């Protein structure tokens, strides 16, 4: 019996990943439900975490490197009194403390963790060390030393405090490890802690209020119903200027060629899109033709260089 052809659908799934499943396993559920399209995800969530996992289908996979650059927001709970190998509930206890910070002490400590801060990632992370993942080395019992690196914490608020736990919400930039944030905050407060609950509430334009559950893909077999929840490829570029192209310009872009706007009406097209043709700076733009996404491009002045061309 011949195998059914793969689905060539392109776009995004705003997936709400549940606790207890890895990001790759969640991705495979979606892949099987949609008849094995080309697929990828933007930003791994640990099995003990839940929340937004953007899934890219088909041509949208070309935008994954841009999607992982987006800001993220998290709601998380820390449990005071224990430090664990993984900095979350999965790890083994390696240190304890009887100290329990008050809500006032916690709130007073938060400004030191807002803005640009230096952060050492957890040793149980996917960062590569000498060609191997840090978590692989840590699980093998090898000593892992990761260097601190700058991350951006835009907002960090205490939501609720009890004797043994505290719940926070933070909005942060790329590369931030919330597990490290909890670990370092505890050290600042003279205690130990690990994350006992973690929910990613948003990634760029994707948020929980319109996310699709994984059970939907497990339980739905109707192709049209499944595909009706796929967002357009350009959904992750909602804040990027859009430059409409002529037929001739679109042909050049499809071949990966640079185009230059010389005539005044063409330059005015850039201005109308919100770009700065007189500025000598790189700006990201979405190129379109007949209302359909064509490519993302670097725009410098009046020169447009395609970066990723979509076959839609």
Rounded distance, CA 228 to CA 121, Å? 38
Reduced 3-state DSSP string for 266-311: HHHHHHHHCCCCCCCCEEEEEEEECCEEEEEEEEECCEEEEEEECC
3-class DSSP assignment, residue 248:
helix
- Rg of the chain in Å (alpha carbons): 23
Return the structure tokens found at 225.
């119903």
Reduced 3-state DSSP string for 207-229: EHHHCEEHHHHHHCCCHHHHHCC
User: How many other C-beta atoms can be found within 10 angstroms of the C-beta atom of residue 283?
Assistant: 19
Rounded distance, CA 296 to CA 310, Å? 8
Active-site residue, 46 included? yes
- Catalytic residue, chosen from 46, 70, 88, 184, is 46
Q: Which residues participate in catalysis according to the annotation?
A: 46
């Amino acid at each position: 019996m011949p195998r059914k052809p793969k689905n060539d659908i392109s776009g995004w799934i705003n997936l709400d990943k549940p606790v207890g499943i890895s990001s790759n396993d969640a991705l495979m559920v979606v892949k099987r439900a949609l008849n094995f399209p080309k697929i990828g995800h933007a930003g791994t969530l640990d099995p003990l975490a839940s929340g937004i996992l953007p899934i890219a289908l088909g041509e949208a996979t070309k935008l994954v490197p841009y999607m992982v650059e987006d800001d993220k927001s998290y709601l998380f709970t820390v449990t005071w009194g224990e430090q664990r190998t993984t900095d979350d509930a999965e790890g083994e206890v390696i240190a304890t403390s009887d100290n329990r910070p008050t809500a006032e002490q916690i709130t007073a400590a938060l400004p030191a963790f807002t803005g640009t801060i230096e952060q050492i990632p957890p040793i149980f992370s996917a960062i590569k060390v000498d060609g191997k993942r840090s978590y692989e080395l840590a699980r093998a019992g090898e000593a892992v030393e990761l260097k601190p690196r700058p991350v951006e914490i835009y907002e960090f608020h205490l939501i609720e405090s009890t004797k043994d736990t505290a719940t926070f919400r933070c909005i942060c930039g790329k590369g931030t490890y919330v597990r490290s944030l909890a670990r370092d905050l505890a050290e600042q407060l003279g205690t130990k802690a690990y994350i006992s609950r973690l929910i990613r509430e948003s990634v760029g334009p994707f948020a929980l209020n319109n996310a699709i559950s994984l059970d939907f893909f497990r339980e739905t077999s109707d192709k049209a119903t499944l595909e009706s929840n796929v967002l357009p490829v350009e959904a992750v570029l909602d804040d990027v200027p859009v430059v409409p192209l002529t037929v001739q310009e679109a042909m050049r872009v499809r071949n990966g060629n640079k185009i230059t706007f010389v005539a005044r009406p063409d330059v005015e097209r850039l201005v109308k899109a919100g770009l700065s043709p007189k500025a000598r700076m790189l700006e990201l733009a979405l190129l379109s033709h007949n209302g359909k996404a064509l490519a993302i491009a670097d725009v410098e002045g009046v020169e447009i260089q395609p970066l990723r061309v979509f076959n839609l």
